[in-house]
């Protein structure tokens, strides 16, 4: 029954038939609710009438690439890159050759300072996903050159997925980058003791002179320390320097 639903023509545009099997129950629950078919219809209409990113087939890519049992840490950002051929369905990542977006440059600089290593040069973050890092945007799509344009459309799906993840494993480590992500933490009642909060790594906010500014927040070492506390293997953040298979 589930596979039949996910193979309907509209859902095939989003490659929902390729969702990793451990996520099927979650998507089945969403499909039964009125908002989800409406959401996909609205997003499909956006793709028909505007340039939107990532490619429609990659909107749910993250849910295809990692199973629930693989996840150790959830990093919640804002929305995809809104420039052509940059967003790839994984938050902050891009497959565009020889290109590191400004936000990702800031992430790499913070990683370099945090772990005392050279800044990475590979902008494809798929190896982090294979390490158990769930790189999720608050909105999974965006209209070209219009940041935050789809934020409200995705609100219910994002809240549902965050709550589902937290119920599935209360010992996930959480990283919230940006005010919108932090609001979700509060509304979904994510435990403070396993949460790392800062401003968004965007050039517009990474160095804001606030209590939780991104630069100097050392999220990568903090994540690994929390993982060790709950008895899990730390993330190899330098794995992205190895050739990405996907």
Active site residues: 79
Alpha-carbon gap, residue 234 to 231, rounded angstroms: 9
Q: How many Cβ atoms sit within 10 Å of the Cβ of residue 33?
A: 13
Burial class (CB in 10 A: 0-12, 13-18, 19+), 84: exposed
Please name the residue that has the structure tokens 């940006």. Answer: 178
Beta strands in the chain (DSSP E): 52-53, 73-76, 133-136, 142-143, 173-177, 195-198
β 173-177/195-198 pair status: parallel
- And the tokens for 85? 């051929």
Whether 76 and 138 have beta carbons less than 8 Å apart is answered as yes
Contact 185, 244 (CB under 8 A): no
Residue 192 token pair: 């403070």
Contacts of 187 (CB under 8 A, 6+ apart): 159
> How many whole angstroms separate alpha carbon 53 and alpha carbon 6?
22
* 143 strand-pairing partners: 52, 146
């Amino acid at each position: 029954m589930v596979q039949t639903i996910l193979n309907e023509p509209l859902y095939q545009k989003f490659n929902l038939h390729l969702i990793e099997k451990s996520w099927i129950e979650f998507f089945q629950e969403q499909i039964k609710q009125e908002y989800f078919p409406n959401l996909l219809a609205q997003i499909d209409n956006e793709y028909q009438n505007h340039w939107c990113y990532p490619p429609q087939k990659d909107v749910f890519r993250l849910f295809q690439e990692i199973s629930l049992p693989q996840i150790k840490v959830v990093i919640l950002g804002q929305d995809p890159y809104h420039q052509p051929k940059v967003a790839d369905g994984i938050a902050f990542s891009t497959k565009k050759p020889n290109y590191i977006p400004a936000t990702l440059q800031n992430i790499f600089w913070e990683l370099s300072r945090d772990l005392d290593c050279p800044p990475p040069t590979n902008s494809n973050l798929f190896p982090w996903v294979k390490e158990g890092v769930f790189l999720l945007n608050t909105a999974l799509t965006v209209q070209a050159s219009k940041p935050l344009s789809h934020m409200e459309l995705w609100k219910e799906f994002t809240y549902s997925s965050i709550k589902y993840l937290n119920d599935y494993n209360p010992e996930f480590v959480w990283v919230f980058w940006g005010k919108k992500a932090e609001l979700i933490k509060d509304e979904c009642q994510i435990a403070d003791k396993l949460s790392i909060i800062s401003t968004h790594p965007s050039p517009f906010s990474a160095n804001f002179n606030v209590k939780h500014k991104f630069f100097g927040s050392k999220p990568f070492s903090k994540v690994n320390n929390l993982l060790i506390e709950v008895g899990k293997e730390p993330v190899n953040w330098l794995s992205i320097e190895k050739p990405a298979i996907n």
